[in-house]
Structure 1
Amino acid sequence: MRRTSLFVIALAVPFTAASATPAALETDPCLVSTRALMGKEQRFLHTVVFGQPAASLARTGSVRYDKSGNSWVKTRSNTWLTLASGFQNTTYSDQQMESQSEHAKRRGLLEVRQSLTSELVPPLAQSLRAFRCRLAAICALADESEQSTSSSLTISVDGCYPRTEKRLTSCTFRSRDPAPARTAVLQQCADDASQTFAQESALLEATIAYDASYRTLLQIAGGFDAFFEDLRDPLLSPLRSAARAIGELQRIPCFLSECHE
């Protein structure tokens, strides 16, 4: 129930950066590529925070993405379907979905038991910081792809570890006719990254508040259980003894005329 509630929170805030995009840039190939990469990083962050169970343990209605970015839905046990072009009549088993999934199964940070939420805040904050670095690297990759002809590029963002990524050929503006406004595309990429990071920050803040409340409730319930467990013998033993003694009173003979046998 708790895991379902967390995913409801996550799904309630979808990727919405495209809603503020100027119409002229809506279908730009470079933005399409950068947004696809941002969506992949967003899903990876969710697996780090919430975890991703094995495909065989996923509930009916669960959604997974393959390595090509196509979404698959589990319609029943051991059956995954998609509406992606070229795969409409394809069915994946749990094993196939596991091998084709873009992210491997893992236990999420919020699935760690016997820990306080405050103990999970540092790794959660670090995960969010790494997410910001990855978003910034995507826009830097779009910029570098125009200036380099190498098939792979090493992207360095201030305050982040360097990353080596494949060059985005869709972001070579000079090879397209008519050439789009490169500055406008890169600025829109930066805006997308900023909106996505703000969205995930708000989501994580709400999730941490929920998790803290849930774990606190479990601690209170556990404390009461321990309290009543310790109190059971000291409280109930005298009551049992008293009930046993009262039951023994009927064995005392009655010498009064009012006694009714």
Structure 2
Amino acid sequence: MKRRLSILWLTALLLTIVPLQGQAQDIGTCQTLMTQQLSREQRLYRSVLFGHKKAKDAALNEVYFDDEGIPWIKEKENVWRSVSPGKEDEERSNDEVDGNDELEPRKGIFETRKVMTSDLVPYLTQAYRSLKCRSTIICKVVENSLELESTSPQELTVVVPGCIEDKRPSILGCHLAAAEGSKVEQGDLLTYCRLVRDDLVSREKDLLKQATEYDAAYRSLLQLAGQMDAFLQEFRWPLINSLRKAAQLVGSLYRIPCFIGSCDESPPSNQ
């Protein structure tokens, strides 16, 4: 079951690479728009955890998405390219990528310094709860949009138990009340949304757990290394001085006369 859900989610992510050329109102368009919004929520969530740098500071081969959901990969220091249809021959500079970036540059929770991992747990938990709420809201927006017939987005007030009330525009491609199609297909679409959402949230929970464990181990190691360095700096000269005096003392022990019988049993020295 988990393997099937992972395949569904991978397929959904691949759909985000191809931008929509229109706002057709059908099941396929609705599913693609829904997947794009879920993918964007995932990227937003990860930027909260790990941060989001400006384009000039991004590593080579790093992928950014613009405000239309089109991916751009950093090919050179100031060259970004896309694999989306119609964008293969287009190049963008760092400034152009920043100007159209879907996310704002931010410092991630894990990038916070001079604190223990336990101090970050409340913020990590809140970020994870926000992901659950926002992904559930998207499925709720899809459900409400399926009941609309208008040709323009409508403002929806979405209420999810345990989450803050949110107002979002409806998804125009999901206005299927007047479109041809059965209620069974619409029900399958909602089921698909919930399956993808559950798979996304479950996987991000496991990744968050692993990242937190790694961060705790890394910070503990840094703390131990810092304490050891401070100890060596503080006791460096007293320790070295004591060892030097001990070596001098051992070297002068031969001057002490021997008053026990076993001394006579030692072989005579060659003179």
Q: Structures share a fold, TM > 0.5?
A: yes
Stretches of structure 1 that go unaligned for 5 or more consecutive residues are: 1-13, 22-26, 245-261
Does the CA contact (< 8 Å) of 2:48 and 2:107 recur in 1? yes
Q: 1:176 corresponds to which letter in structure 2?
A: A
Q: 1:62 corresponds to which letter in structure 2?
A: E
Does the CA contact (< 8 Å) of 2:147 and 2:177 recur in 1? no
Tell me what 2:269 maps to.
Answer: none
Tell me what 1:196 maps to.
Answer: 200
2:177 aligned counterpart, secondary structure = helix
Stretches of structure 2 that go unaligned for 5 or more consecutive residues are: 13-26, 249-271
1:165 aligned counterpart, secondary structure = strand
User: 1:200: Cα distance to partner?
Assistant: 0.5
Alignment of 1:200-215 (within 5 A): 200-215=204-219
Tell me what 2:160 maps to.
Answer: 157
Distance 1:199 1:65 in 2: 21
User: 1:222: Cα distance to partner?
Assistant: 0.9
- Runs of 4+ residues over 6 Å off in structure 1: 240-244
Distance 1:128 1:177 in 2: 38
Alignment of 1:1-261 (within 5 A): 16-18=7-9, 28-148=28-148, 149=150, 151-179=154-182, 181-238=185-242
CA displacement 1:212-257 (0-9 Å, x = unmatched) = 111111111111101111111212245568999xxxxxxxxxxxxx
Q: TM-score under structure 2 normalisation? A: 0.77
CA displacement 1:26-76 (0-9 Å, x = unmatched) = x72222111110000000011000111111111111110111111111011
Moved more, 123-132 or 146-155: 146-155
1:104 aligned counterpart, secondary structure = coil
Alpha carbons of structure 1 residues 20 and 65: separation in structure 2 relative to 1, 3 Å = closer
Q: 1:193 corresponds to which letter in structure 2?
A: R
2:91 aligned counterpart, secondary structure = coil
Does the CA contact (< 8 Å) of 2:158 and 2:165 recur in 1? yes
Distance 1:79 1:100 in 2: 15
Q: 1:104 corresponds to which letter in structure 2?
A: E
Does the CA contact (< 8 Å) of 2:9 and 2:199 recur in 1? no
Alpha carbons of structure 1 residues 15 and 55: separation in structure 2 relative to 1, 3 Å = farther
Give the paired residue count: 227
Distance 2:217 2:9 in 1: 34
1:173 aligned counterpart, secondary structure = coil
Alpha carbons of structure 1 residues 71 and 166: separation in structure 2 relative to 1, 3 Å = same
